[in-house]
Amino acid sequence: MRVVLAEDLFLLRDGLVRLLEAYDFEIAAAVETGPELERALAELEPDVAVVDVRLPPTHTDEGLQCALRARRDKPGLPVLVLSQHVEQLYARELLADGSGGVGYLLKDRVFDAEQFVDAVRRVAGGGTAMDPQVIQQLLARRANDGQGPVDRLTPREREVLELMAQGRSNAAIAGKMVVTERAVAKHTANIFVKLGLEVSDDDNRRVLAVLAYLDQGR
Amino acid sequence: MNTHTKSDGVGSRARGMVLAAGRGLLLAVVSLPLSILGFCLSLVSMALIPIGVGLVTTPYVVRGVRAFADRRRTLSGRWGGVSIPSAYRPAPATANPWTRTFALLRDPATWRDLRWLPVDMTAGFVTALAPAVLVLYPLEGFALPLGLWRTMTGGPYGEYGPYWYGFVPVSDQTTAFGAAALAAVVLVLAHRYAVSAFQAHFRLTKAMLAPSQAELTERVRVLTETRRDAVDTSAAELRRIERDLHDGAQARLVAVGMDLGTVEMLVDKNPEKAKELLAQARRSSAEALSELRDLVRGIHPPVLAERGLGDAVRALALRLPVTTEVGVELAGRAEAPVESAAYFAVSEALTNAVKHSGADRIWVDLRHSDGSLRISVTDNGKGGAATGAGTGLAGLERRLGTFDGVLAVSSPAGGPTMVTMEIPCVLS
């Protein structure tokens, strides 16, 4: 799988290259600045891009803007955005086109190599990988609103919903929660009923539906 | 070479004299009626305030007078090289005529304008006209010996006695030549003093229109106070950051290092224990990172650095447990310190609203108009908030004071609460 990597800090870029290569990814390009990233995305046609939000020359949200532009030009181009901090504002912008293949993670998640690589693969496959922090904030908000449907979920179901919103499949959720896949399927079915969402087999659409639900009524 | 320079000096001096005379004449003729008109209208309008009519007319009249005075200020700079600062307070953008009129009347600049108008129509008029008189009067003196004296003393004028040119009684050709001599003297005086007389006019205008010493003193007092507050606040902030780093992230990183050292020793002897310590080290480093993140957010929020005030406030609203609507109308970005102050002010106002108001909806509105950033935070809670010592709002006021910003709180018991902030600034 060919990856374009954009990160301005040498140590981190180097580390990511080694990490990804260790997991059999091919690094098509590892760039430092926004314009370089823009060129690499246009010319190299990678399977997935891993992008830092803040990039030179502006040192603002150049990386995010590049990713959004690239996805406008090539809809569905898988992009995993890494950041020192996560903001719902940015998560919403990434999810806004509804075409999947996006991820938005704290840089800390790289600590857990397995989990991080899993996220890269999921994004490359058209799925989503949202940082647990974003999801928790979203859920906390809905819960605080009082009479929201999220309140009617059992703690177990909330846990499943959180993992689901991060973009995990039923099998992954079952593994994480140490229950059978059947149990997870039952929970998800209950969640969909309580939230009034249409059941769908597609992982990606499932997550987008959850997020869209969490988004509405604000 | 030398002569050339001298004649050139005389030539430019003559040009200056003629220019001063022309401009002085124009200024005197145009500004006299305007000064009288402005003065009378101001007096009448203010006198009519008790019966209400003045409330409506005064803002217009005062604004007209200000425009007139400002025009004179620019002319002073352009024609006389005397720069006069304009120091009007910004007029409040309220539709309430009473507030508007009252704010205008409270501005010392309004009264300064009013004092200047009578001076301008008397002493100002004379000094503006003086160069023209100095230049034009000799022309008459030179015309007298050329035959004008016959017209002025003969015919119907004969019975009034001699024609006086200055202090010279002109009655025949000889005295007419005397008048011409006097005219020559006046012309020499004009050549030497016309420009400085014209300057005197602008110096007079400056004396009347420039902000007074008392105002400057008051301004200095306010600045000193806000600077002390700013220094205090930033020192306290630095202490807090130092303490947070020292007790938090720094301590955790030390712990990580120690754990890793122990792991190094244990890795062969007791792999189980080593693994446990490694997990602990990873947890500590993750915690250190999240502490650093919070610290950074407290110093300069990342979204503010990346996107500016509008999106930073939007991101802030998304993190609040209360539904918050954010409206932004900003055409650019303010300077970083202003943005930062505004952001933290909004953040504090929102925290107050969430903590104390009991509201379930908050509206934030950001806009820039008339050279000011205007921010309002409104909630539908129970109200009763007040500014004053010891409240969070007082801290907010201090924070804004550094930038000459102001804070207004409207919070009747029972709500709603509306906190309005205004910071003068430009966007780029």
Strands (E), B50-174: 163-165, 168-170
Statement: residue A218 has pLDDT above 80: no
Interface of A with B (CB under 8 A): 53-54, 60-61, 84-85, 87-89, 108, 111, 137, 140-141, 144-146, 218
Of A60, A89, A108, the CB nearest to B289: A108
Of A60, A89, A108, the CB nearest to B315: A89
Exposure string over B107-131, b if 16+ CB within 10 A, otherwise e: bebbebbbebbebbbeebbebbbbb
Statement: residue B147 has pLDDT above 80: no
Is residue B215 within 8 A of residue B86, CB to CB? The reply is no
Statement: residue A122 has pLDDT above 80: yes
Statement: residue A127 has pLDDT above 70: yes
pLDDT more than 90, % of chain B: 26
Statement: residue A98 has pLDDT above 80: no
* pLDDT score at B390: 56
**A85 with B296: Cβ contact below 8 A:** yes
Confidence of residue A49 (pLDDT cuts 50, 70, 90): very high
Torsion A106-A110-A113-A116 (CA) sign: positive
* pLDDT score at A203: 63
Mean pLDDT of A1-29: 94
Candidates B284, B306, B343, partner chain A, best to mutate (most A CBs within 10 A): B306
Mean pLDDT over the full length of chain B: 85
More confident residue, B389 or B102: B102
Burial class (CB in 10 A: 0-12, 13-18, 19+), B368: buried
Q: Name the closest residue on chain B to residue A85, using Cα atoms.
A: B293
ipTM higher than the 0.90 cut: no
Question: Which strand ranges, in their side-by-side order, compose the sheet holding A128-130?
Answer: A26-31, A2-6, A48-52, A79-83, A102-106, A128-130
List all residues 6 or more positions away from A122 whose beta carbon is below 8 Å from its beta carbon.
Answer: A103, A128, A129, A167, A168
Contacts of A68 in chain B (CB under 8 A): none
Contacts of A111 in chain B (CB under 8 A): 282, 285-286
Contacts of B293 in chain A (CB under 8 A): 84-85
Distances A62 to A52, B239, B303 between C-alpha atoms, Å? 9, 33, 12
CA distance A25 to A27: 6
Which helix (H) or strand (E) segment holds residue B419: the answer is: strand B417-424
* pLDDT score at A3: 95
Mean pLDDT of A138-142: 73
pTM, full prediction: 0.66
Helix (H, G, I), strand (E, B) or coil at A73: helix
Is residue B343 within 8 A of residue B313, CB to CB? The reply is yes
* pLDDT score at B1: 41
Continuous H helices in A77-169: 88-95, 113-124, 132-144, 155-166
* pLDDT score at B142: 84
* pLDDT score at B171: 79
Mean pLDDT of A6-24: 93
Least Cα separation, residue A201 to chain B (angstroms)? 30
Instruction: Tell whether omega for the bond before A57 is within 30 degrees of 0, i.e. cis.
Output: yes
Tokens of B348: 């504090």
Candidates B365, B374, B363, B364; CA nearest to B406 is B374
Distances B15 to B10, B12, B19, B20, B135 between C-alpha atoms, Å? 9, 5, 6, 8, 12
Mean pLDDT of A186-202: 79
More confident residue, A149 or A129: A129
* pLDDT score at B217: 79
* pLDDT score at B273: 92
Strands (E), B82-175: 163-165, 168-170
Tokens of B157: 């004028």
Confidence of residue B260 (pLDDT cuts 50, 70, 90): very high
* pLDDT score at B157: 66
* pLDDT score at A118: 92
**B311 with A89: Cβ contact below 8 A:** yes
Least Cα separation, residue A36 to chain B (angstroms)? 19
**Residue B82, Ramachandran bin (φ over 0: left; ψ between -120 and 50: alpha; else beta):** beta
List all residues 6 or more positions away from B161 whose beta carbon is below 8 Å from its beta carbon.
Answer: B169
CA distance B428 to B419: 26
Residue with tokens 């603002």: A60
Q: Is the CB of residue B311 less than 8 Å away from at least one CB of chain A?
A: yes
